[in-house]
Structure 1
Amino acid sequence: EGRNFLPLCLCLHCLQSVGIGAYIAQWPEKIILRPGHSLTISCYQNYSNLAYMFWYQQPPRNGLKLIVSSSTWSHNSYEDGYSEAKFEVTRQNTDYSLMTIKNVTAQDAATYFCAANDRTVGTKLTVIGENDEIIPPAVAIFSPSKQEIQQKSKATLVCLASGFYPDHLTLVWRVNGVKRTEGVGTDESSTQNGSTYSLTSRLRMPAWEWFNPLNRFECVANFFQNGTTASINKFIHGDAGE
């Protein structure tokens, strides 16, 4: 029987989009809420001459929908199906815009984007049941296949995080304690298996790197737990060979 957790709210880091002379940031990046609570998303841009800012909603597996346009000289302009009663937008000055989503329901689960000019950043909102339990993942690392090593002189490690809920989870590879991005391929989204989720990431490397028992390959799963970020680490050492 699921325990009744307090609402979870976490800002992993501010999303940023940077161009020549332009900067836009939005926070939090991800958040989990119980029904009935409210969420305020902050957006900052340094284009002082941009009068318009826009807020968009992208429900899962759907396209972007414009919620509201805000300008520095007129009232907010809401699209059909959206209203200030639900999505309250304030423009503190030219640089800052805040959107508060009131009394969230499961239908509000989506990614919300702030846009100024042609740059956008987003916030992913997940709404979970009042009594749903946060379930941490089980993490496992699988060794490379001998066939791949023999035929391609490459070695691919597979990291599987499974049995977690909700689907806010990231996988990171570290080699000898240093984050590795080259040769990494992670599924774009989690796979739902009944009431829980799974996510897979692969690390491909030259065979010679795998055949070094001093090398330590680590998969780190970052997820939400009681309002903060928690991590589960699994590691495997290179193969000494025959």
Structure 2
Amino acid sequence: MWRKENIMIVFSCVAFNILLVSVSSQSDQVHQDPPEIYSQPGTTATISCRHELQDYNRILWYRQPGGGGRMTLLGLMNVDQQQLEDGVTAKMSGGAMKGQTCLFTTEELQLGGTARYFCAAYRCANYEAYFGQGTKLTVLEPNRTAIPPTVRVLKPSPNEGGQTRTLVCVATDFYPDHVSVSWTVNGNKRLSGVATDAAATRLDDFYRITSRLTVYVKEWQNRGKDFACVVDFFNGTETVNRIDSIRGVKGRLLFERKYLRIAQNAKLAYCAFIVKSCVYGAFVVFLLWKLQKSRKTEK
């Protein structure tokens, strides 16, 4: 249980620093491991945190529900003394000074206890708090093991118009939802034009996620281009990837331009023919009129 003076210290620091969670969550000053964990119901999990910040001597631990939402403070390591929030039965060990490792061991996990855990190094007097990248912890359902995804890349819809085309990557039939999706073009990672679902969607007993890559028509209509969707999946021991790819189609752009040019030339020729025909017709009418007038004059 916390002492009153510690509560005041933490409140004054956290009130200022909690607003910095989003901007500090990727700080390279704080090293949190592992990034992902699978656990069985009734077991515990241990997460480590270490920072490289001079004079920072406290590490806070937070828990965020698996579906997102507000982070809950679990406790802190003050130099080498653990101080837990009321009702929290987790354990901490190690130290919170620069270069030291602080270990956080969860309480016994229950089904539905999936969450993200974050550590944060801080010191008072309005110093910025630095957060680790977080640890995603999933409590597996009974008698279930990790199953990697099946990945498929779909070519653009034939009804898609404009100057761009959209490729769709669909990853299905995986469990649990520890995946990340990226795209490569001829082996080079592509960042622009990529839109991926914010989170995987559960369908029955498995998960599904989609990602879209938008490219220009000229790039898609190039058989030398290889578009690959890479899905990284954590299997409980290591991260493995599943890949599917599709090649660009035979370019029709030059043919289409040539066809349009021929069509435009034909249209112009036809218009010229019509104009000439009209002029010729007018000339014939004029001659007939002159001929008739001449005959009337002779009479």
**Smaller-chain TM-score bracket:** 0.7 to 0.9
Tell me if 1:120 matches 2:131: yes
Aligned residue number for residue 196 of structure 2: 186
Distance 2:118 2:234 in 1: 22
Tell me if 1:88 matches 2:112: no
Distance 1:160 1:57 in 2: 31
SS at match of 2:212: strand
1:199 to 186, 209, 227: 209
Distance 2:234 2:63 in 1: 23
Select the structure with the greater relative contact order (CA < 8 A; seq sep ≥ 6). Answer: 1
Q: Is the 8 A contact 2:73 2:85 kept in 1?
A: yes
Distance 2:237 2:93 in 1: 27
Distance 1:156 1:198 in 2: 19
Q: Which amino acid aligns with 2:202?
A: Q
Distance 1:145 1:181 in 2: 22
Q: Is the 8 A contact 1:16 1:26 kept in 2?
A: no
Tell me if 1:30 matches 2:36: yes
Aligned residue number for residue 64 of structure 1: 71
Aligned residue number for residue 101 of structure 1: 106
Aligned residue number for residue 55 of structure 2: 49
Shift of 1:115: 0.7
Distance 2:197 2:218 in 1: 26
Shift of 1:144: 1.6
Quick one: structure 1 residues 133 and 46, their matched pair in 2 at CA, closer, same or farther if it must change by over 3 Å? closer
Tell me if 1:212 matches 2:222: yes
TM (norm. structure 1) is 0.83
Quick one: structure 1 residues 123 and 204, their matched pair in 2 at CA, closer, same or farther if it must change by over 3 Å? same
Aligned residue number for residue 184 of structure 2: 174
TM (norm. structure 2) is 0.68
Q: Is the 8 A contact 2:166 2:212 kept in 1?
A: yes
Larger radius of gyration: 2
Q: Deviations over 1:97-131 (max 9, x none)?
A: 11012432224320000011322121000010241
Q: Greater strand percent: which structure?
A: 1
SS at match of 2:27: strand
Shift of 1:81: 2.7
Distance 2:145 2:53 in 1: 43
Q: Is the 8 A contact 1:16 1:25 kept in 2?
A: no
Tell me if 1:164 matches 2:174: yes
Q: Is the 8 A contact 2:232 2:240 kept in 1?
A: yes
RMSD over aligned Cα atoms: 1.9
SS at match of 1:76: strand
Aligned residue number for residue 238 of structure 1: 248
Tell me if 1:76 matches 2:82: yes
Distance 2:178 2:119 in 1: 20
SS at match of 2:218: helix
Q: Deviations over 1:30-87 (max 9, x none)?
A: 11112233321111111131122100000123310000022116x422223312xxx1
Quick one: structure 1 residues 72 and 78, their matched pair in 2 at CA, closer, same or farther if it must change by over 3 Å? same
Distance 2:144 2:138 in 1: 12
Q: Greater helix percent: which structure?
A: 2
Q: Deviations over 1:196-220 (max 9, x none)?
A: 1101111112221111111000111
SS at match of 1:163: strand
Q: Sequence identity, in percent? A: 36
Q: Is the 8 A contact 2:58 2:96 kept in 1?
A: no
SS at match of 1:47: coil
Distance 1:167 1:59 in 2: 14
